[in-house]
Amino acid sequence: MAPRYAPSLRSRLVPLLLLLQLGFIAIYAFWTEIQSNVNPHGSNFSKIYPEFQDVHVTVILGFGFLSTFLVRYGFSASAFNLLVAVIATQWAIILNGIESFRGKIRLDLKSLVEAQMCTASVLISIGAVLGKTNPVHLILISLLEVSGFIFNKWVLQTVLNVQLLNSIMMLHIFGAFFGLMLAWILYRKGSEQGFEKEKYDHRSGSFSMLGTLFLWVFWPSFNSVLVDSGNPWRKFGAVCSTYLALAVSAVTAAALSVLSSPKGKLNLIHMQQCILAGGVAVGISMSVVHQPGDAMVIGFTAAIVSTVGHRYLKTQMLLAFQCHDTCAVLSTHGLPGLVGWLANLLLQIKDCDDHTTAIPIRFAVFHISTLLITMTNCLSMAIITGLLLKWDFWRTPKSKKCFDDQAFWEFPHLAVKK
Amino acid sequence: MAPRYAPSLRSRLVPLLLLLQLGFIAIYAFWTEIQSNVNPHGSNFSKIYPEFQDVHVTVILGFGFLSTFLVRYGFSASAFNLLVAVIATQWAIILNGIESFRGKIRLDLKSLVEAQMCTASVLISIGAVLGKTNPVHLILISLLEVSGFIFNKWVLQTVLNVQLLNSIMMLHIFGAFFGLMLAWILYRKGSEQGFEKEKYDHRSGSFSMLGTLFLWVFWPSFNSVLVDSGNPWRKFGAVCSTYLALAVSAVTAAALSVLSSPKGKLNLIHMQQCILAGGVAVGISMSVVHQPGDAMVIGFTAAIVSTVGHRYLKTQMLLAFQCHDTCAVLSTHGLPGLVGWLANLLLQIKDCDDHTTAIPIRFAVFHISTLLITMTNCLSMAIITGLLLKWDFWRTPKSKKCFDDQAFWEFPHLAVKK
Amino acid sequence: MAPRYAPSLRSRLVPLLLLLQLGFIAIYAFWTEIQSNVNPHGSNFSKIYPEFQDVHVTVILGFGFLSTFLVRYGFSASAFNLLVAVIATQWAIILNGIESFRGKIRLDLKSLVEAQMCTASVLISIGAVLGKTNPVHLILISLLEVSGFIFNKWVLQTVLNVQLLNSIMMLHIFGAFFGLMLAWILYRKGSEQGFEKEKYDHRSGSFSMLGTLFLWVFWPSFNSVLVDSGNPWRKFGAVCSTYLALAVSAVTAAALSVLSSPKGKLNLIHMQQCILAGGVAVGISMSVVHQPGDAMVIGFTAAIVSTVGHRYLKTQMLLAFQCHDTCAVLSTHGLPGLVGWLANLLLQIKDCDDHTTAIPIRFAVFHISTLLITMTNCLSMAIITGLLLKWDFWRTPKSKKCFDDQAFWEFPHLAVKK
């Protein structure tokens, strides 16, 4: 079976990768240039570089290892994450550059960071379809989703005048619901019984823990990197708020996980995904969180919603809506994202000096529009992507081969010598 | 057996975690604020942020994975480390803030770093009781030990006028002897025969190696972050000294490990713990180490003491003193810490221009007082903590369940599908 | 067998390590000092420190885990890498300091970084003989190769006036061909049949992936750290070019790996080694790569050469030349290094305004001389080293004990309790 299935990957994946990469090289060669008129006193580089590296670590090492919890899918999880990340980043730089296009797209560390954050939305989405897709699918998702995300960012900025930071931070909501819609469209019969290889053991659980801790440790950089550095205490505030929200999430997720367990035990998946909920929620409400107390309450609420979602919602989604969400991105990024969105609205109303009812209503209309536009763009793009992926041309892996590295990887040494 | 034991964790752990976290949120909401009057030229953030992140990596990834060497205890080791770290850090920020309290506790990156270093003393202590305690115990330890450590810091600073850097660096000695005293009080009958699951294999050994290397790589940041940045060459010196001491330790530990082995082989635990001895010792004597040669001699001595301690002392401690020290914190942090303390004294005497005998005696009295006060505070706090933990109310895990993730973690996928 | 073999390691390794370390301590104590006249406005430390740490991570965590792919050799791979790195770095600081010696060798972060990059050439070489040597061999290699590499750097700088950046970046070519020559001299009969333990599994493959991703993420720092910081856009350019070249390599390596596989599957080793080819090639041509397009074309070519080399050349080298190259350093560093060298020449000719034939010929002569001098130094030093290592005095491990941690490591817990 394996030999008959495998060659198809070659006839689809190789031309796609090579054409895509050659196309990117052509575009970069003719229409980009490395920024050269930087601030002459030369302190810029050391200011932004460490934060750029932290985001880089988050995207490649954090997301890459977070999804290695599947016992037979470790190679695919980390390597496909890298592949998707580099393709999505190259594509995002081009799309982001078109907006401010004047003859050449200018490359600098800021445009790389922005592109990597757009990429993060794709890395969230592919968590929902992890193990049930092949690399060709993942590359198509990354191209279409980045396009949709950047289109949405552009709409928010143009129509509603949303700030860059706020429009990019919608990545958690965009990524989660994009992934869910995909998982629903790509539903496979028999998912309710569970897949044979969809489980974790001590080894894969520990690798996944490593990815989680990378994300947890570098999340303050992820949230603060786009905060305006002209005002240094805003950056201090962003880092401290994110740190406190993550700390509260870790404690709360542990408590809720034990509380909701029939045997009073911790669940590894909760300790990996829900401890990040505070970072997600504070990220989305970053521009209005000014006090530690606010950040901690947001972290607390987000962790409760996330842990409860993990315990009860994942199965419901599968049974009631036929949506098999491998990494539970709904509870990890979707719901905490909505908590952050709500916190953003409430804090803005609270901070407002004017106590007439007109202002809260204006804020509410504004935020609800933001959310609705994002959801519309996200779901319509996901439907297009999902329908494209259902096309049999891409040779979807059979259910028996799901969650298994052997569908995509050579194991020469094992085969020959064992 | 497991079902009967497990529910108890719920009735103890959940209220403790939730009450603690809600209490912290209330304190932070009413009595803290994020520092806003930072230096206006805005270069502060990029100066301290990379070092803050390095300490963050040390505490979460370094200590978290260092203790994953136990073959069936990987989830607990890394997740409980995170839990203890975030609770201890939140508590340490509050206690540190009380000293300089003027209406509000001010939060900034420096207070976060300081709190994380106080936390490190707890992470060292729990190494001594790793695998023989439950999370409730660990949280109680973290609260009481941080209180004791910050009280000790305050006493040293007020009574003896010890500098902040020197008083915080006592964390290795404080943490190690606190942990030893706990291990002695919590001694279990039958420890001499060894526990069934107290061993490592290729997988857990490699994860532990990862933690060690994180600590080893980021130790220069850990030692230099609190060195006064007004004098830049002091920071350069701190980094270079720590690097050289660590390099010497690595070579020396390898040599001594082979020398003391009956079969002339390396021991993995020595290569993980003793290569850090130089960093510990130079950290404590940081304020008087000015030349590379001094740092290297300290690293050499510390590594010898540490490796010899690991090879011969660990068993002696168990058999003679009934003290079962899981991670051998005595040899990893305690003895190298004492070497550093002695080096501090000797170098200060050597550097002194005045060659009368009065000065050396004054220095000796000062340093011996520092050590005695620290030991007194450390041991008395450890006795209080130990007696509290012996209370059966906290439901200590049975010896059969020691060093086993299954006592605290759900394994749903494994159970259902294997 | 094991007990009879093992003691020999003690009688050789311990004196070597201790004498070497005591010698280093003596040299450092008498002839080095920590730089103290740094720039008074104090911004230097925060400028260079994050990049220093990134290089540190690359050398210890990146190279350390990259070579853990052998299923029974994980402890040795990561620990011996550390041992070799610290000995080579201490030795390189001394040798680099002799050039500019005025009474004392001055230590600062820049000299540490430079020494660590010289060390990288050794870490590449030992990849070729990984698993077939003992630690004594590795230490001798590190001493002799660093000497040869720094001699070569000095010759290039003095005779041909090559810049520091360019002469250090020859490390990939120097390291790869040094390693190959060693592997050829130390050839063992029976290597064609393959060694029993020369294979990888899910665990060791994932650890190796971790090392690869560390290298991949921190490679931009490795390439840019020595770029003159007086001109900040040069640094921006170095980081962006390296990032793009690495991104292109990742995509291209995946495509070529599938294309050249009989079953159309990915190969883990290709995804680990060939995705780094772009970083190697751009590093060597760093001083003339100014546009993103150039960097991407270099990354594309290097990845093709590297993947094709991995698929076809490794076996040929073994069968035709009796050269057993464990980590395939020829295809990972050697060939991409040559691609970078060629790109350096071609771009320099392209950039030149003068279109007479005299200039290209001068450039070609210059670059070919650089390469020939490097190869001569590299191969002659490798032959000396190889002949020294063949001496039976060092007790080479028997072929049955190759690629096995048990030859060098105690496994007390496993032995006693299983």
Find the closest chain A residue to C207 by CA distance: A207
d(CA C221, CA C246): 13
Cα C215–Cα C217–Cα C221 angle in degrees, nearest 5: 85
- Residue B354 or C349, more confident: C349
Residue C91 near residue C146, CB atoms below 8 Å = yes
Tell me the pairing of strands C32-34 and A32-34.
unpaired
- Is the pLDDT confidence value at B274 over 50? yes
Q: Does B21 touch chain A (CB under 8 A)?
A: yes
- B312-365 pLDDT tens trace: 988 888 888 888 988 899 999 999 999 999 999 999 888 877 767 788 888 899
Q: Which stretches of chain A drop beneath a pLDDT of 70?
A: 1-8, 36-43, 355, 412-418
Find the closest chain C residue to B299 by CA distance: C25
* DSSP three-state, residue B34: strand
Q: Does C34 touch chain B (CB under 8 A)?
A: yes
Residue among C171, C276, C262 nearest C218 (CA): C276
- The A residues from 50 to 89 touching B (CB cutoff 8 Å) are 50-51, 54
Tell me the pairing of strands A105-107 and A32-34.
parallel
- Is the pLDDT confidence value at C34 over 70? yes
- C242-271 pLDDT tens trace: 999 999 999 999 999 999 988 889 999 999
**Interface contact B254-C46, CB threshold 8 A:** no
Say which of C216, C233, C271 has its CB closest to residue A36.
C233
DSSP characters over C287-334 = GG--SHHHHHHHHHHHHHHHHHIIIIIHHHHHHHH----TT-HIIIII
**Interface contact A264-B414, CB threshold 8 A:** no
Give pLDDT, residue A417. Answer: 38
- Amino acid identity for residue C95 in this structure: L
Q: How many CB atoms lie within 10 A of CB C212?
A: 24
**Mean pLDDT calculated for residue range B364-376:** 94
pLDDT band for B415, please (50, 70, 90 cuts). Answer: very low
List helix spans (H) across B194-291. Answer: 202-224, 232-259, 268-273, 277-284
The helix (H) or strand (E) run that includes residue C155 is helix C135-159
Q: Does B234 touch chain C (CB under 8 A)?
A: no
**Interface contact B258-C13, CB threshold 8 A:** yes
Find the closest chain B residue to A69 by CA distance: B413
Say which of B8, B60, B409 has its CB closest to residue A268.
B409
**Interface contact A29-C291, CB threshold 8 A:** yes
Residue B59 near residue B120, CB atoms below 8 Å = yes
**Interface contact B248-C68, CB threshold 8 A:** no
Chains contacting B (3 or more CB pairs within 8 Å): A, C
d(CA B41, CA A231): 9
Determine the distance in angstroms separating the CA of A233 from the nearest CA of chain B, rounded to an integer: 5
Residue C32 has φ and ψ, to the nearest 5°, of -125, 160
Residue A264 has φ and ψ, to the nearest 5°, of 70, 35
**Mean pLDDT calculated for residue range B409-413:** 76
The interface predicted TM-score of the complex, written ipTM, equals 0.93
Determine the distance in angstroms separating the CA of C126 from the nearest CA of chain A, rounded to an integer: 22
- Is the pLDDT confidence value at B42 over 80? no
The phi-psi region of residue B410 (left if phi > 0; otherwise alpha if psi is between -120 and 50; otherwise beta) is beta
Say which of A10, A74, A417 has its CB closest to residue C258.
A10
The helix (H) or strand (E) run that includes residue C107 is strand C105-107
Chains contacting C (3 or more CB pairs within 8 Å): A, B
Instruction: Measure Cα distances from A358 to A285, A345, A396, B251, C122 in Å.
Output: 22, 14, 53, 71, 70
Between B109-128 and B44-57, two packed helices, what is the crossing angle to 10 degrees? 10
d(CA C84, CA C13): 13
Determine the distance in angstroms separating the CA of C44 from the nearest CA of chain A, rounded to an integer: 10
d(CA A118, CA A6): 32
Say which of A47, A202, A213 has its CB closest to residue B74.
A202
- Is the pLDDT confidence value at C341 over 90? yes
Each residue of A101-120: b (16+ CB within 10 Å) or e? eeeebbbbbbbbbbbbbbbb
Token pair of B18, please?
């939730």
Give pLDDT, residue A29. Answer: 93
Max CA-CA distance within chain B?
77
Give pLDDT, residue A233. Answer: 77
**Interface contact C205-A6, CB threshold 8 A:** no
End-to-end CA distance of chain C: 21
**Interface contact A232-B14, CB threshold 8 A:** no
Residue A148 near residue A178, CB atoms below 8 Å = yes
pLDDT band for C402, please (50, 70, 90 cuts). Answer: confident
Q: Does A37 touch chain C (CB under 8 A)?
A: yes
Task: Judge residue B84's burial from the number of C-beta atoms within 10 Å of its C-beta, 0-12 exposed, 13-18 middle, 19 or more buried.
Answer: buried
Give pLDDT, residue A227. Answer: 87
- Residue C220 or A414, more confident: C220
Residue among C83, C82, C104 nearest C93 (CA): C104
**Interface contact A61-C290, CB threshold 8 A:** no
Tell me the pairing of strands B105-107 and B32-34.
parallel
- Is the pLDDT confidence value at C347 over 70? yes
Residue among C366, C235, C343, C250 nearest C288 (CA): C343
What percent of chain C clears pLDDT 90, i.e. is strictly above it?
A: 61
Say which of A237, A247, A252 has its CB closest to residue B89.
A247
**Mean pLDDT calculated for residue range B220-244:** 87
d(CA B116, CA B226): 12
**Interface contact A410-C293, CB threshold 8 A:** no
Interface test with B, best of A48, A216, A251, A259 (most B CBs within 10 A): A251
List helix spans (H) across A129-227. Answer: 135-159, 164-169, 171-185, 202-224
Give pLDDT, residue B418. Answer: 34
Interface test with C, best of B223, B236, B327 (most C CBs within 10 A): B236
Q: Does A236 touch chain B (CB under 8 A)?
A: yes
pLDDT band for C82, please (50, 70, 90 cuts). Answer: very high
Interface test with A, best of B8, B53, B70 (most A CBs within 10 A): B53
Say which of C8, C86, C107 has its CB closest to residue B250.
C86
Rg (CA), chain A: 21
pLDDT band for B148, please (50, 70, 90 cuts). Answer: very high
Q: Does B293 touch chain C (CB under 8 A)?
A: yes
Residues of chain A found within 8 Å of residue B56, distances taken between Cβ atoms: 217
Residue B121 near residue B91, CB atoms below 8 Å = no
Each residue of C246-260: b (16+ CB within 10 Å) or e? bbbbbbbbbbbbbbb
Interface test with A, best of C44, C248, C266, C270 (most A CBs within 10 A): C266
Q: Domains in chain B, ordered, with CATH?
A: 25-32+49-394 (1.10.3430.10)
Task: Judge residue A357's burial from the number of C-beta atoms within 10 Å of its C-beta, 0-12 exposed, 13-18 middle, 19 or more buried.
Answer: exposed
Q: Does A320 touch chain C (CB under 8 A)?
A: no
Q: Which residues pair with A409 in a beta bridge?
A: C266
Among B170-184, B236-250, C194-208, the least confident range: C194-208
Residues of chain A found within 8 Å of residue C290, distances taken between Cβ atoms: 34
Q: How many CB atoms lie within 10 A of CB A200?
A: 22
Give pLDDT, residue A414. Answer: 52
Average pLDDT, chain C: 88
Q: Does C8 touch chain B (CB under 8 A)?
A: yes
Contact partners, residue B8, CB within 8 Å, separation at least 6: A264, B395
